[in-house]
Amino acid sequence: MTKLSVNINKIATLRNSRGGDLPNVVQFAKDVQRFGAEGVTIHPRPDERHIRYQDAYNLKPEVYTEYNIEGNPIEKFMNMVLEIKPTQVTLVPDAVNAITSNAGWDTLKHKAFLVEVIQEFKNHGIRTSIFVNPVLKQIEGAKATGTDRIELYTEAFAHEFSLGDKKAILPYTECAVLADSLDLGINAGHDLSLDNIQYFKENIPNLLEVSIGHALISESLYLGVENVIQMYLHRLK
């Protein structure tokens, strides 16, 4: 079964909007695990507009499933990850002013940089994943970096699927088949939701993990967090 990792950035955004500690991100992480989530994902950014660097440290002793920290490997981010030693680090080429992740790595152009960064994390026993667009040459480039896994950037699929275009899955399936043949683990994330997750899962061979935040939190406003997590787990079987 594909693992569900819940991205809790939106909980931090809600907390920060009032300046206090409600909702508490550590308690929320504990709760989603208790409700069945198999991992917790955070994506701290340099301006700390949602998850703060201190949150990453506070969460470490409370995440007993998989702890996935995403981000652009600037020096501050790398130092934090090396200190915390999460289960997985997912490298994302975020621009400083990006509202959310909006592109995967050019694994060919940035090969030397990625090789160096990935090796540093792997030397410390941290599983590595890199965020990539569903392009075959980028999957081949990812293999050359030494990464353990890729995370397929799924915004294009989610958008086209919402318009009724089920063929939008095809490049993702092709990339997953290639990745699997190259012995790369396959993760996925961005705009996956209760509406599209089952179809995505059914068409991506050997999908190991999905990271879902915005949709899951939004759906939970109507359906409840525990219920929504169980709905995702059912679709991911």
Q: Residues 6 or more apart from 221 whose CB is under 8 A from it?
A: none
Beta strand 127-132 with 3-7: parallel, antiparallel or unpaired? Answer: unpaired
Catalytic residue flag (residue 50)? no
Candidates 209, 216, 224; CA nearest to 191 is 216
d(CA 160, CA 143): 28
CB–CB of 76/126 below 8 Å?
Answer: no
Please tell me which residue in 38, 151, 190, 209 is annotated as part of the active site: 190
Catalytic residue flag (residue 120)? no
Please tell me which residue in 70, 151, 209, 219 is annotated as part of the active site: 70
Catalytic residue flag (residue 124)? no
**Would you give the DSSP letter of residue 47?**
T
Q: Which amino acid is at 15?
A: R
- 110-145 per-residue burial string, b: 16 or more CB within 10 A, e: under 16: bbeebeebbeebeeeebbbbbbbbbbeebbbbbbeb
**Burial of residue 105 (number of CB atoms within 10 Å: 0-12, 13-18, 19+):** buried
Please tell me which residue in 43, 50, 66, 219 is annotated as part of the active site: 43
Give first-to-last CA distance, the chain, whole Å.
5
| Cα Rg of the chain, angstroms | 17
Positions marked active-site: 43, 70, 190
